[in-house]
Amino acid sequence: MKRKFIEILGETFLRLSIIISLIFLFLFLFMIFSKGIKVISWEFLTRMPRSGMTKGGIYPAILGTFWITIVSIFIAFPIGIFSGIFLSEYGKPKWLVDIIKTSINTLSGTPSIVFGLFGLSVFVIGLNLKVSILSGGLTLAILILPTIINSTVEAINSVPFDFREAALSLGATKSQVIRNVVLPYAMPGILTGTIISVGRAAGETAPILFTAATFYSRRLPKSLMDEVMAMPYHIYALMTEGTSPQYQIPIAYGTAIVLLILILFINGSAIFLRYRIRKRRG
Amino acid sequence: MEELIKVKNLNLFFGSKHILKSINMSIYKKSVTAVIGPSGCGKSTYLRCFNRMNDYNGAKIDGEIMLDGEDINSKNTDVTKLRMKVGMVFQKPNPFAKSIFENVAFGLKIHGKLKTYEIENRVEESLKSVWLWDEVKDRLKESALLLSGGQQQRLCMARALATNPEIVLLDEPTSALDPNSTRKIEDLCLELKGKVTILIVTHNIAQAARISDYTAFLYLGELIEYNETKLIFTVPKDKKTEEYISGKFG
């Protein structure tokens, strides 16, 4: 009787937890959407801001976020994956590899504003890249690098030894084992880590605050050396520096909706990609 | 019988543990040689000496294993070439998460040099030699993981045979299989020995008796007795061998 009671109590507790989580998620979406949905329109997505940012669209901010994210992924993805492969397959001695892994973990827990300061002093000032897409992309790349390295290392470590053994026994060299067996098997896991980072890069404000973002720009960026508007910073700026809150607050919420949908879209397409890879290998 | 491999005074250590102790033994061409012995006697480790798979677990080896007049433990041995000559099938079927075709073609492709049609021919030949061709010829592009366990193990044999090795090492190849699949693998060994030398490790004494021409009994890292299978199983010279094959221990 007592065991049965504990059983029911336990299940009820678990059920309650998920209900609470769902309530928060629902409230979150409801608040954002109810406050921002009325500004969403085709014009909002495709036009420049007008009349002191009280009207018009957020097209430059969407474009800016897009480019900063793309730059950071193009830099962080290859470097992160190659670092991960090196750490898990070639790194020696073990104690040094462990120290490096711990440092990377620590780095991934560092507050993002610290990365912003780093980007400012190294890229913007040190390398004289100015406040630009490139500086912001580089800063975000460093921010997401630990996540990509970690997920690569974890995905590689989860490849069953059976597969390596089989490939080695057929006369494969170490690099052939990695290229033909380990990486294809680990790829879905690596992608998962990268997807999470793409979402993070697109949504971060602090790292681009001093390195890439500008409050208002009259023209669209023409090169990687231009400063840009970006969605997360746009929200921040409208909420803190806005002069006509009655118009600008809904625009901020509308921008949040667009940002959420963008991240949903990125994650969705990556999940689809991962599903395709898994399905192909049966 | 003609000798293919000669093992001379082979010793293997894991740290301070002496795993294989002064083993001397010849393996004869186009025959099935079985290595039997209780769990932990070192038989799998011994098998892995023949294709240098102990290179990755920190084992220290001395002694010689002569194949084609060369010591495979020598520093000059190219292990990737050695493993083309010495194929291996593992305890658990371990096909790659690739198509059936790609699995069999793997060994051929990584060594390069072959044209597409040559690879296709060899894949077909290998699959036929393990009696899998008729079962899979219409689904070569499907994932190998969709095959049954017994089929997977035969696929692994085809994969090992595709590079035309001189010898195939089988590490308890039927221990994860059902009786029917086991039977098929055993029949296959008997069929294949006309073409290739087979060295099989098994914990199944009856299996050794059924399929092997020679049997080696390994106990606590020592080669207790090595002889023709029919002699080992009828008139064993050593008391330990007799006790083991009659099921007194193990």
CATH of the domain at A133: 1.10.3720.10
- Rounded CA separation B166/B84 (Å): 8
In a domain, A165, yes or no: yes
pLDDT category of residue B186 using cuts at 50, 70 and 90: very high
Please check the confidence at residue A93 and state whether its pLDDT lies above 80. yes
Which range, of A89-93, A278-282, B140-144, B157-161, averages the lowest pLDDT? A278-282
Per-residue model confidence (pLDDT) at position B90: 94
In a domain, A8, yes or no: no
Please check the confidence at residue A282 and state whether its pLDDT lies above 60. no
Per-residue model confidence (pLDDT) at position A194: 84
Query: Closest-CA residue in chain A for B78?
Result: A171
Number of domains, chain A: 1
Q: What is the tens place of the pLDDT at every residue in B15-74?
A: 999 999 999 999 999 999 999 999 888 899 999 999 999 988 889 999 999 998 889 998
Per-residue model confidence (pLDDT) at position A280: 64
Per-residue model confidence (pLDDT) at position B88: 95
A166 with B97: Cβ contact below 8 A: no
Per-residue model confidence (pLDDT) at position A192: 82
In a domain, A33, yes or no: no
In a domain, A191, yes or no: yes
Tell me phi and psi for residue B61, to 5 degrees.
Answer: -125, 135
Which range, of A70-79, B208-217, B241-250, averages the lowest pLDDT? B241-250
Please check the confidence at residue A220 and state whether its pLDDT lies above 70. yes
A171 with B160: Cβ contact below 8 A: no
| Contact status of B176 with chain A (Cβ, < 8 Å) | no
A185 with B159: Cβ contact below 8 A: no
Mean pLDDT in residue range A188-217:
84
How much of chain A exceeds pLDDT 90, in percent?
46
> Who among B56, B96, B159 is closest to A181 (CB)?
B96
pTM beyond 0.90: the answer is: no
Angle at A151 between CA A148 and CA A157, to 5 degrees: 140
Query: Closest-CA residue in chain A for B170?
Result: A169
Tell me phi and psi for residue B181, to 5 degrees.
Answer: -65, -35
In a domain, A198, yes or no: yes
Mean pLDDT in residue range A204-216:
83
Mean pLDDT in residue range A94-109:
90
Tell me phi and psi for residue B249, to 5 degrees.
Answer: -150, 175
In a domain, A137, yes or no: yes
Chain B residue numbers touching A188 (CB-CB < 8 A)? none
Per-residue model confidence (pLDDT) at position B63: 92
Higher pLDDT, A79 or A58: A79
Q: What is the tens place of the pLDDT at every residue in B117-133?
A: 999 999 999 999 999 99
Q: Are A231 and A57 in contact (CB under 8 A)?
A: no
Higher pLDDT, A59 or B156: B156
Pairing of strands A55-56, A49-50: antiparallel
In a domain, A270, yes or no: yes
B80 with A171: Cβ contact below 8 A: yes
Mean pLDDT in residue range A101-117:
90
The amino acid present at A116, given as its one-letter code, is: G
Query: Closest-CA residue in chain B for A170?
Result: B107
Query: Closest-CA residue in chain A for B105?
Result: A170
Per-residue model confidence (pLDDT) at position B32: 95
- Rounded CA separation A232/A214 (Å): 11
| Contact status of B142 with chain A (Cβ, < 8 Å) | yes
Q: What is the ipTM of this complex?
A: 0.90
Residues 6+ apart with CB under 8 A from B199: B27, B33, B35, B47, B50, B167, B168, B169, B170
Q: What is the tens place of the pLDDT at every residue in A6-26?
A: 999 999 999 999 999 999 999
Both tokens of B57, joined, read 């677990």
Per-residue model confidence (pLDDT) at position A146: 92
pLDDT category of residue A281 using cuts at 50, 70 and 90: low
Per-residue model confidence (pLDDT) at position A188: 86
Q: What is the mean pLDDT of chain A?
A: 88
Mean pLDDT in residue range A234-238:
88
Chain B interface test: which of A165, A170, A179 (most B C-beta within 10 Å): A170
Which range, of A56-60, A167-171, B28-32, B204-208, averages the lowest pLDDT? A56-60
- Domain range spanning residue A136? 60-281
In a domain, A186, yes or no: yes
